[in-house]
Amino acid sequence: MSSVREWSDDAGALRRFGLALVRDDRYVFDDVAASALIEKLFRQASLTLVDGPGADRRAARVRAFAQFVRLYRRHARRLAVDEDGGWIETPPSGRSCGSAAVGVRSLPLELREALLLVALAGFTHREAAEALDLPLAVVIDRLLRARARLAAHMAASRDAVVAWPQNAHLRIVK
Amino acid sequence: MTGRADPAETLAYVDDCLDAAARGEFETRLKADPELRREVAQWESQNRAIRAAFGAPSRNALDLGGASNENAVRQPSEAARSLEGAARPFGQPRKKRATARPVAKPRRAGPGPAARRVFGAIALAAAIVWAGLPALGPRPPAALVAAGASAARALADLPAEFAAGDPAALAQRIGPRLALTPPLAPGLQLVGARLASGSQTTATLYLYENSHGARVALMIEPLDEITAAPARRGEADGLSVAAWTGAGYGFVAAARDDADVAALVAAAGADDEFLADASLQRR
């Protein structure tokens, strides 16, 4: 694989991760705002991506994602201070949509970033801990909590869909 | 090994963070523990759903193929054989389909292609000899000739709608779009003008009288994008007709006498080289 291709893969993964991370139900409501924010953060974070193969590239990838996470945390903290001071726990949206994207967006930021680094960006647990600047045990704990919440969300959505005919208030019209 | 697996280890297995030895050991446990398999399947489906939701390529290449589509790897003859030998519902015998025979080409009666070409060439040459060679070069539209002749036939002997002997005054009354200043021909006196239906739009029919009091008509019709064509003379509707085009107008001069038509054509400054128009003469 050429180095240009590798850089492009890493940049694409970083953009995907950014889009999944910044879209939540509290601060960034639509894709246009998310894209603008991602471009701003991506320009700074992608500077650390390198073309080199092997361990250097892997380390640079971790640094780029870590930089993105730091930038977004700072952005979210600034917004939260402007509002009410609490920024970690994002309230769930209450929308009963069955997609995994909505379930991920309804997670708190601390759980979302850990889950997305591992499940979407393909980081190992140790790399995710490095990128998030956290101990490995904390990352594993967050991953377990995130998966439990996501499973509950998806099960609730599935149950809502299955239960729809009984709950629907339809009037029989002759 | 008995007892539940460590959730962190399960998580490490799902997220591909175990080395080969630990992975093998975990898979052994996985085979014996359906609850663990269910949990692993749930987390793997979460991974797939997350990657699909945010447009990431799948970690494992999709198995698109090969043997799953049996028809793709079977030979056509094999498929046909299996169809022939397949059981029919209710024990009905399968009808043997007759082998298709190639359809024979029907024999044509009459001459072949080469003979038809020869006959066609002979017929074309005979038609040219009978009709004469067509005059080459641009010619006025047939519709213009027909409109001018019929207007002259129908309207020339009626009283003029605009009676005036002065060409400039007459053209001014009719208007610049419709009328050019009519020519003054020796031996012909301008008596007025009428409006007539041209080939495409309204035309002006100028009326003249010769020394015997017979009417001579000159129809001038504004035409868009018309190619200039020299005057061609012939007969139409029992009248002697000359038609030409130029400067965005079509002209048709019609009278009972050829000399009057020739005088009008000459006065209008049209091409003096009159060409006998066979198509006009045969009208």
- Report all structural domains of chain B as residue ranges with CATH numbers, in order of start: 7-53 (no CATH), 142-281 (3.40.1000)
Nearest CA of chain B to the CA of A140: how many Å? 7
Contact A125 B49 (CB under 8 A): no
The 10 Å Cβ neighbour count of residue A57 is 17
Residue B20 has pLDDT above 70, yes or no: yes
Contact B15 A124 (CB under 8 A): yes
Instruction: Report residue B144 as tokens.
Output: 């213009």
pLDDT at B240: 86
d(CA B46, CA A147): 8
pLDDT at A5: 54
d(CA B244, CA B233): 9
User: Which chain A residues are Cβ-neighbours of B59 within 8 angstroms?
Assistant: 122
Q: Which of B194, B114, B118 is nearest to B160 (CA)?
A: B194
Which of helix, strand or coil describes residue B125? Answer: helix
pLDDT at B259: 84
The 10 Å Cβ neighbour count of residue B30 is 17
DSSP A134: -
At B111-159, the pLDDT tens digits run: 778 888 898 999 988 888 777 665 566 777 788 888 888 888 888 888 7
Which of the four pLDDT bands, split at 50, 70 and 90, describes residue A22? confident
Q: Which of A98, A96, A93, A119 is nearest to A21 (CA)?
A: A119
Which of the four pLDDT bands, split at 50, 70 and 90, describes residue A92? very low
pLDDT at A68: 81
DSSP B10: H
Residue type, A67: Q
At B263-274, the pLDDT tens digits run: 888 887 765 444
ipTM value greater than 0.85: no
Nearest CA of chain A to the CA of B47: how many Å? 5
pLDDT at A31: 65
Residue B2 has pLDDT above 50, yes or no: no
User: Which chain B residues are Cβ-neighbours of A151 within 8 angstroms?
Assistant: 42, 46
Q: What is the 3-state secondary structure (H, E, C) of B27-65?
A: HHHHHHCHHHHHHHHHHHHHHHHHHHHCCCCCCCCCCCC
Instruction: Report residue A165 as tokens.
Output: 């005919």
Q: Which of B264, B193, B198, B184 is nearest to B231 (CA)?
A: B264
CA dihedral B155, B262, B138, B130 (to 10 degrees): 90
Smallest Cβ–Cβ distance between A150 and the set B8, B46, B54 belongs to B46
Residue B237 has pLDDT above 90, yes or no: no
Q: Supply the DSSP string of A69-80, one letter for each residue.
A: HHHHHHHHHHHH
- Of the listed ranges A110-114, A137-141, B81-85, B152-156, the least confidently predicted one is B81-85
pLDDT at B142: 80
Q: Supply the DSSP string of B196-260, one letter for each residue.
A: EE-SSSEEEEEEEE-TTS-EEEEEEEE-TTPPPEEEEEEEETTEEEEEEEETTEEEEEEESSHHH
pLDDT, chain A, mean: 72
Structural domains for chain A? 3-163 (1.20.140.160)
Q: Which of B42, B43, B46 to mutate to test the interface with A (most CBs of A within 10 A)?
A: B46
Q: What is the mean pLDDT of residues B48-65?
A: 70
pLDDT, chain B, mean: 76
User: Which chain A residues are Cβ-neighbours of B12 within 8 angstroms?
Assistant: 125
Which of the four pLDDT bands, split at 50, 70 and 90, describes residue B283? very low
pLDDT at A14: 79
d(CA A122, CA A62): 11
Residue type, A61: R
Smallest Cβ–Cβ distance between B11 and the set A122, A144, A151 belongs to A144
Residue B184 has pLDDT above 60, yes or no: yes
Q: What is the mean pLDDT of residues B230-247?
A: 81
User: Which chain A residues are Cβ-neighbours of B6 within 8 angstroms?
Assistant: none
- Of the listed ranges A51-60, A155-164, B268-277, the least confidently predicted one is B268-277
pLDDT at B123: 92
Contact B15 A99 (CB under 8 A): no
The torsion angles phi and psi of A106, rounded to 5 degrees, stand at: -80, -5
Q: Which of B209, B220, B221 is nearest to B256 (CA)?
A: B209
